[in-house]
Structure 1
């Protein structure tokens, strides 16, 4: 991957901390979760808010797009999990199955189920369409900061502040595996695109890469000086991006663990990072109340257009922003790479 090239394109997304963000499957929309109780849907090309969804009573910690892109799920301090219509911004359902704040949500790859992890140590599995509670899984004595479905949707992995991660059978709720993360609380979890590796961001600032088939740590990256709040794979699985309380984003080689680049510009903790589906853009959200767009391909012709669109949108120049958005829309993003094979543990039911 080329050396990351970026220019600061800050955009005030909320009146408070941005704790979570997610890209739609087509890369055209960005969802944000912020501590002002709002969920927002952004038009990425124009850099403007399409919908501002109100309903949460308190901070919103997590957002995730449905695999088909028509819905967004969210969770927050009011203990609820909510589903929103992306096209209209309408609230579709709200359910409370947890007794404390909801830190993370994730859709099953097929989209039928939604999982949520909470400060109360529980995991809830819901039907996506109507919010019916399918099952509650208990097994962590401390916060469940991250939940993620396996690529085939039959397993669910949870990462907790109790310094363990666990693998659960989705149909039965049975615990299949538990691994000790060596006295290190977990902040986020994500599978590699081919489903063979699990990525953890940790309280001590390290980024851990795990092989769940063998039940072992592949490598640990330790360049952050404060907690690593989030870590994600690029769509091709070759790069890892992590955001930290040290105000930086680090790009790592996903196979060697080498630091490729360190991105600076945020003034406070970087809570969330997300790649665009084509892998050419990285978005970050921070306590400084800004989203930043980073171009990971200096030759990408969309950079100047996107930069102009977001800057003019910030200046509330509607005509200029619209012209920039139209220009960007004429350039078709590449499709994200297909997923690879699953590991043995995640290849089917036992």
Structure 2
């Protein structure tokens, strides 16, 4: 953190702002989705454009890159699957009736959220919707998934454990926990007084963290629906969240990022550098040899210290009227 940085590579062939980017699991490729209605694949090694993904009829809202396939969603109400080697469109997922806001590929399924007030589950290989999650009273914005292996057996329902749980956040001020196998709502998480813009899931502890326009981050038990903690120090909407090493990082319209202890809600540090809203962040763990006591951790680490002061926190700010960064959700009239 701190200090200026120089660009290693510049990828500059889009004709519109970049709304989202995704790095492949193997780190070899970068996928960008743009206002110009296209996505592009780039080589992470040299920054060269490998493939132009054309077919969407409106701007690309989000993208996810796997090692063998790329996925994009758009304001044209569709989701597309692409071959990462040829750039060919392999599948078009149709069914949403409004802008598709987010997608998530997990457990050989694709999950999507939309301004049509629904989330959906799809077969990654067939492109057919296998489940619809209907119950939010407004736009569904953000998604997280807990696989069956992360869920307990008894006393939790076998049906829920079989398909896992999907957690969604909405502009109606709630988050919902859904049983993927049945499509039924398991819990509604109520407490926010504004739209839920972002969420992250700590699957082993069955804890969801949500960020909202009410300037708070909240922690929830997704099995019981209980609100566990409220993180209250932000002065603007919480736009993005990251969970790493038992710390929660929150980026806000108040131009700061805050680091919190996940299990207590205690604020550890505030990062102040940006001149505009922070709309995306990414944590990269580093190692340090700082002697105990480390100023950033409440107890001695079991291995190398992965403390925030010795790690890299990549922050992205919203630059008004320039469209150069990952965009926070847009709300239709």
Q: TM-score range by the shorter chain?
A: 0.7 to 0.9
Q: 2:189: which partner in 1?
A: 179
- Does the residue aligned with 1:200 lie in a helix, a strand or coil? strand
Give the C-alpha shift of residue 179 in structure 1.
Answer: 1.7
Task: Report the counterpart of residue 232 of structure 1 in structure 2.
Answer: 242
Call closer, same or farther: CA 1:291–1:185 in 2, change over 3 Å. closer
Q: Distance in 2 between matches of 1:232 and 1:22?
A: 15
Q: Is the 8 A contact 2:30 2:65 kept in 1?
A: no
Shift of 1:102: 0.8
Show CA shifts across 1:18-66 (max 9, x none): 4333332233433333323232334344445433322222222222234
1:268 and 1:144, CA in 2 relative to 1: closer, same or farther beyond 3 A?
Answer: same
TM-score relative to the length of structure 1: 0.70
Q: What is the correspondence of 1:163-312 to structure 2 with a 5 Å cutoff?
A: 163-192=173-202, 194=204, 196-234=206-244, 237-257=245-265, 258-265=267-274, 268-275=276-283, 281-288=312-319, 289-290=323-324
Question: Which shows bigger deviation, 282-291 or 24-33?
Answer: 282-291
Structure 1 residue 259, shift from structure 2 partner = 4.0
User: Residues 121 and 138 of structure 1 are in contact (CA less than 8 Å); yes or no, is this contact kept in structure 2?
Assistant: yes
**Secondary structure of the equivalent of 2:86?**
coil
2:127 counterpart residue number: 131
Contact kept, 8 Å, 2:173 with 2:194, in 1: the verdict is: yes
CA shift, 1:165, in A, is: 1.3
| Cα distance in 2 for residues equivalent to 1:65 and 1:90 | 14
Between the aligned partners of 1:9 and 1:222, the Cα distance in structure 2 is 34
Question: What is aligned with 1:119?
Answer: 115
Cα distance, 1:99–1:31 mapped onto 2, change above 3 Å:
same
Deviations 1:283-325 (A, max 9, x none): 4555434469xxxxxxxxxxxxxxxxxxxxxxxxxxxxxxxxx
List per-residue Cα deviations over 1:102-153 (Å, max 9, x = no partner). Answer: 1111122x2x210101001011111111311212221111000012211335
Q: Report the CA distance between 1:100 and its aligned residue.
A: 0.7
Q: In 2, Cα distance between the equivalents of 1:92 and 1:270?
A: 34
Higher relative contact order (CA closer than 8 Å, sequence separation 6+): 1
RMSD: 2.9
SS at match of 2:58: coil
Q: Give the distance between the partners of 1:34 and 1:220, measured in 2 at CA.
A: 35
Preserved CA contact (<8 Å) 2:255 2:272: no
Rounded Cα–Cα distance in structure 2 between residues aligned with 1:62 and 1:206: 24
Structure 2: runs of 5+ lacking an equivalent:
149-162, 287-305, 327-333
Task: Report the TM-score when normalising by structure 2.
Answer: 0.73
Closer/same/farther in 2, CA of residues 135 and 183 from structure 1, 3 Å limit: same
SS in structure 1 of the partner of residue 204 of structure 2: coil
**SS of match in other structure, 1:204:** coil
Alignment match, 1:83: 81
Aligned counterparts of 1:178 and 1:232: Cα–Cα separation in 2: 22
Task: Output one character per residue of 1:67-120: Cα deviation in whole Å (capped at 9) or x when no partner.
Answer: xx3222221211111112233333221122111101111122x2x210101001
Superposition pairs of residues 58-69 of structure 1, within 5 angstroms: 58-66=58-66, 69=67
